[in-house]
Chain A
C-alpha cells in the first residue's frame, strides 16, 4: 500500500503570494495516476490537476502541477482570495488497493 504524505499541513500566505504544496508518495508511482483537488468549507472537492500536470476544465492557469517518481508539487501563482482552501492529492493505480488520498494541506490567509 502506497502512502501519500502532504506537506506542510497548513500554509499561511497573503493574497498575491505563491503557494507551493508537496505530495510525497512512499514509493515511486506513475505521474499519470496523480491528481489534485481543492476543497472549500462546506463544498465538495473540485478536480484541479490530473496526470500530475494536466489542468482540468475551467481551472485558471495560476494553478500548475509538476513532479514525478515520489515527489509531486501543486503551485498556485498569485493567490487570490478564493484560493484559500484545503488541497488534496490523490493517487490511483492498477489495483483498488492503490487508490488513496493524501491528508491535505490547508492554505490559509496570513
Chain B
C-alpha cells in the first residue's frame, strides 16, 4: 500500500526558504510515469496545487508560484522535495504531498496530469518571526 509522509521544519521566518521532503513507501517513485505533487491549504481555507515532479526530474509548477518554487527528486531515497523561497505569512499552510496521476488521452494524443491519490497526512508550516 502506497504511503507518503511529509517532513520538515514547522516554523520558517519571513523572507527565508521553506524546505519540505516527502518520503514514499510501499512502491518505488521510479516505478511509473505518474508524477509526485505538492498541494497546500492555508488554515480554514481551500486547496492550492503548488507543483509536481516526475521521477526523472521533469516539473510542472502552478504559474502564480513558479518564480519561487523548486522541486527535486532523489530516487535512491524514494523521496521528493519542495523549496519555496522568500516566504511570507501568506505561505502559512498545511503542506501535503501526493501521487499525481498521469493519464494518456487518445483524443489529445498526450499524457496529462490528472488527479491526486493517495495523499500524505500533511504538515503545518507557519511563517513567522
- Mark A residues whose CB is within 8 Å of B: 30, 32-33, 35, 37, 43-47, 50-51, 56, 88, 90, 92-94, 96-97, 99-104
Contact = CB atoms under 8 A, between A and B. Distances in A.
Contact of B96 (A30, A35, A44): A44
Main secondary structure of the interface of B (DSSP, over half): strand
A94 B112 contact: yes
B56 to A, nearest CB: 17
Contacts, number: 67
Contacts of A46: 117-119
Interface in B52-87: 60-63
Query: What are the 5 A-B residue pairs with the smallest beta carbon separation, nearest first?
Result: A47-B117, A44-B119, A35-B115, A101-B47, A96-B60
B61 A32 contact: no
B4 to A, nearest CB: 9
Interface of B: 46-49, 51, 60-63, 96, 98, 101, 103, 105, 108, 110, 112-122
A44 B105 contact: no
Contact of B62 (A30, A93, A96, A102): A96
Contacts of B117: 46-47, 50, 56
Given A32-B103, A44-B96, A88 B46 contact: yes
Nearest to B122: A44
Nearest to B6: A44
20 contacts: A35-B115, A37-B116, A43-B121, A44-B119, A47-B117, A50-B115, A50-B117, A92-B112, A92-B114, A94-B108, A94-B112, A96-B63, A97-B62, A97-B63, A100-B49, A101-B46, A101-B47, A102-B46, A104-B46, A104-B47
